[in-house]
Amino acid sequence: LTGRLQDAFSSLRKKGKVSEQDVQDAMRQVRLALLEADVNYKVVREFVNSVREKAIGEEVLESLNGGQQVVKIVYDELSELMGGEQAEVVTSYIPPTVYMMTGLQGAGKTTTAGKLANFLRKSKNMKPMLIAADIYRPAAIDQLQTIGEQLNIPVFSMGDQVSPVEIAKKGLEEAKAQNRDLVIIDTAGRLHIDEVLMTELKEIKTAVDPEEIFLVVDAMTGQDAVNVADSFNDQLDISSVILTKLDGDTRGGAALSIRKVTGKPIKFTGTGEKLDALEPFYPDRMANRILGMGDLLTLIERAQEEVDEKRAEELAQKMAENRYDFNDFIEQMDQMRNMGPLEDLLKMIPGVGNIPGMDEFEMDEKELDYMKAIVMSMTPAEREDPDLLNQSRRRRVAEGSARSLNEVNRLIKQFKQSREMMAGMSGGKMPKGLGQMFG
């Protein structure tokens, strides 16, 4: 199916002018893709209708690149449906900021409480404290304590003989006394929604007046997740959603339906069992995931925006003739960096994100800065003609850039090698977009 959708999209993109029939065909594929991704059928129907209306608009049908516009409308509408922009967490002006984790049993509340504390400590420099207010599952308190130990974050608990409301209140006082500026309350869940649970959650809410009530939802539960989200929102007026277990091959259609049904933003996604496997939610990336094509389209679009086509052709020409120099090198490097962190770019390539160990892998951006520093220490003549760089010049460059002679030698050697390789390769044309980028 994914393949068919991809074909439909790529033929649309190439098409230039599109007919109403083309749009209808593409919409049929989109509809199937959404249903397969477990998006609620009502949401699908509404979505497809609204996109179809926009796509069949006169402007699109008459425009020369109508195909591309249709594809873009699908993406834009889909990410718009999921909130458009990435939504930040709410924090309190007067510390501590208080968050409540809610959701069904097994959704990932306890794990996510730890992940979130860890994430906000790192990204916002906050000083978190976790509160163990799930007194029903025997091991729940231990579980949170273990997480706290792993992360070196304090966990407040009062055992399982005190009411969760009382624990939450006392925990909050303790956090203030210890100057903690973030409190995350882990609460109990049930297998199904029930009144007792909801009443308890409401009482905690009233007692601590949280900045955020996160509903934690297991993305693998698909359609069912929507009903759960709907009733939690109804009863508790949650503030945001965290979608867990997106590390599997679930397409994440739940994201779309949940957002649509509750109107509440999804702020994070859980992508693994480890305590650093939490990511801010990006609607546009999720749109791609739901449509099942990796982020390749975004990547290509961004590449095209950034790269002046003519200049790219010139560069290709220079490569082919072995005239590529360090000035070109710097120019391309800057261009690539303008497109965003290298890591993100790499992850957008379908498949790369799934390579085992990829999340451990961090592109060292410093390395790029060092390379740039070295090139900047060369004279214009040396940049144009790297062959000028004899030993004494290399020593000067090393001193000027505060890098070691070894590094300078290595860069020049690698540069020359790849230049030769490119010259050898340039008989055939590289694929557009990617070729320009990595060329």
Binding residues: 103-110, 186-190, 244-247
CA-nearest of 288, 363, 357 to 333 is 363
Single-letter residue type at 205: K
Contact predicate 233/215, CB 8 Å: yes
The residues, ordered by sequence, that sit 6+ positions from 395 with a Cβ below 8 Å of its Cβ are 405
Can you tell me which of 68, 244, 401, 426 binds ligand GDP, judged by CB under 6 A? 244
Q: Is 105 in the site for ligand GDP (CB under 6 A)?
A: yes
CB nearer Mg ion, residue 128 or residue 283: 128
Contact predicate 184/119, CB 8 Å: no
Can you tell me which of 106, 350, 353, 433 binds ligand GDP, judged by CB under 6 A? 106
Give the binding range for ligand GDP (CB under 6 A) out of 2-10, 80-88, 101-109, 199-207. Answer: 101-109
Cα separation of 382 and 212, whole Å? 58
Cα separation of 363 and 333, whole Å? 14
Question: Tokens at residue 203, please?
Answer: 């009482």
Element (H, E) at 281: none
Interface residue list for Mg ion (CB under 5 A):
109-110
Q: Tell me how long the chain is.
A: 439
Give the binding range for ligand GDP (CB under 6 A) out of 31-39, 240-248, 284-292, 394-402. Answer: 240-248
Sign of CA dihedral 168, 171, 177, 181: negative
Question: Beta strand pairing status for 278-280 and 212-218?
Answer: unpaired
Please give the annotated binding residues for GTP, written as ranges.
Answer: 103-110, 186-190, 244-247
SS3 content of the chain, % helix, strand, coil (to 5): 60, 10, 30
- Per-residue x/- mask for ligand GDP, residues 55 to 94, rule CB under 6 A? ----------------------------------------
The one-character DSSP state at 214 is E
Partner touching 105 among ligand GDP, Mg ion, none, CB below 5 to 8 Å by kind? ligand GDP
CB of 254 to Mg ion, least distance (A): 20
CB nearer ligand GDP, residue 188 or residue 303: 188
Site size toward ligand GDP (CB under 6 A) is: 18
CB nearer ligand GDP, residue 4 or residue 190: 190
CB of 435 to ligand GDP, least distance (A): 36
CB of 136 to ligand GDP, least distance (A): 11
CB nearer ligand GDP, residue 5 or residue 116: 116
Q: Is 247 in the site for ligand GDP (CB under 6 A)?
A: yes
Element (H, E) at 28: helix 20-36
The residue behind tokens 């130990």 is 149
CA-nearest of 248, 80, 100, 61 to 186 is 100
Question: Tokens at residue 142, please?
Answer: 């231990």
CB nearer ligand GDP, residue 257 or residue 271: 271
CA dihedral 17, 21, 22, 25 (to 10 degrees): 170
Q: Is 280 in the site for ligand GDP (CB under 6 A)?
A: no
Cα separation of 311 and 299, whole Å? 19
Can you tell me which of 88, 234, 237, 273 binds ligand GDP, judged by CB under 6 A? 273
- Per-residue x/- mask for ligand GDP, residues 171 to 210, rule CB under 6 A? ------------------x---------------------
Q: Is 164 in the site for ligand GDP (CB under 6 A)?
A: no
What number of other Cβ atoms are within 10 A of residue 327's Cβ?
A: 13
Can you tell me which of 13, 31, 52, 245 binds ligand GDP, judged by CB under 6 A? 245
Q: Is 157 in the site for ligand GDP (CB under 6 A)?
A: no
CB nearer ligand GDP, residue 189 or residue 386: 189
Residues of the shown chain interacting with ligand GDP in the complex, contacts defined by CB under 6 A: 103, 105-111, 189, 216, 244-245, 247, 270-273, 277
